[in-house]
Amino acid sequence: MKAREIRPAIFWVGAVDWDRRTFDELIPLPDGTSYNAYIIKGSEKTALIDTVDPPKEDILIEHLDNLGINDIDYIICNHAEQDHAGAIPRVLAKFSRSKVLCTPKCKAMLIDHLHIPPDGITTVEDRQVISLGDKNLEFIHAPWVHWPETMLTYLREDKVLFPCDFFGAHLATSELFLTDECQLYESAKRYYAEIMMPFRPNIQKNMERLKEYDIKMICPSHGPIHEHSEFIINAYREWIADEPLNIVVLPYISMHGSTRQMVKYLVESLAEKGVSVKQFDLNDADIGKLAMSLVDAATIVLGVPTVAVGPHPKVAYATFLANMLRPKTRFASIIGSYGWGSKAKENLIEMVPNLKVELIEPVMCKGMPRQADFEALEKLALTIAEKHKGLKNPAGLEHVPPKL
Ligand code: FEO
Asked if residue 309 has pLDDT above 70, the reply is: yes
State whether the beta carbon of 79 lies less than 6 angstroms from ligand 1.
Answer: yes
Question: With contact defined as beta carbons under 8 Å apart, do 377 and 252 qualify?
Answer: no
Q: Mean pLDDT, to the nearest integer, of 304-331?
A: 98
Band (pLDDT 50/70/90 cuts) for residue 36 is very high
Distance 312 CA to ligand 1 centre (A): 32
Peptide bond into 63 cis (omega under 30): no
State whether the beta carbon of 149 lies less than 6 angstroms from ligand 1.
Answer: no
Which class for 246: exposed (0-12), middle (13-18), buried (19 or more C-beta within 10 A)?
Answer: buried
**Inter-CA distances, 24 with 81, 102, 167, 209, 393, Å:** 11, 23, 19, 30, 34
State whether the beta carbon of 53 lies less than 6 angstroms from ligand 1.
Answer: no
Beta carbons within 10 angstroms of residue 55's beta carbon: 14
Total residues belonging to the chain: 404
What residues does CATH 3.40.50.360 cover in the chain?
Answer: 245-384
Q: Give the separation between CA 206 and CA 208, rounded to whole angstroms.
A: 5
Q: Mean pLDDT, to the nearest integer, of 267-278?
A: 98
Distance 170 CA to ligand 1 centre (A): 10
What residues does CATH 3.60.15.10 cover in the chain?
Answer: 4-240
Q: Which atom of ligand 1 is nearest to the CA of 150?
A: 2
Q: Give the separation between CA 382 and CA 380, rounded to whole angstroms.
A: 5
- Closest by Cα among 324, 319, 323, 321 to 334: 319
- Closest by Cα among 281, 278, 274 to 295: 278
pLDDT for residue 404: 44
C-alpha 375 chain-centroid distance: 39
pLDDT for residue 179: 87
Q: Give the separation between CA 70 and CA 23, rounded to whole angstroms.
A: 33
Q: Which atom of ligand 1 is nearest to the CA of 146?
A: 2
Q: Give the separation between CA 89 and CA 77, rounded to whole angstroms.
A: 12
The mean of the pLDDT values for the chain is 96
Half-sphere exposure of 122 (CA within 13 A, CB side): 13
Distance 203 CA to ligand 1 centre (A): 15
Task: Fold for 245-384, please state it.
Answer: Rossmann fold (3.40.50)
Asked if residue 88 has pLDDT above 80, the reply is: yes
Asked if residue 168 has pLDDT above 70, the reply is: yes
State whether the beta carbon of 57 lies less than 6 angstroms from ligand 1.
Answer: no
Asked if residue 397 has pLDDT above 60, the reply is: no
- Residue 200: φ, ψ to 5°: -55, -45
Distance 84 CA to ligand 1 centre (A): 7
Asked if residue 42 has pLDDT above 90, the reply is: yes
State whether the beta carbon of 83 lies less than 6 angstroms from ligand 1.
Answer: yes
Class of domain 4-240: alpha beta
Q: For the chain, what percent of residues have pLDDT higher than 70?
A: 98
Question: What are 329-353's pLDDT values in tens digits?
Answer: 999 999 999 999 999 999 999 999 9
Closest CA to ligand 1's atom 2: 81
Q: Which atom of ligand 1 is nearest to the CA of 82?
A: 3
pTM of the model: 0.95
Report helix, strand or coil for 261: helix
Residue partners of 317: CB distance under 8 A and separation at least 6:
282
pLDDT for residue 123: 98
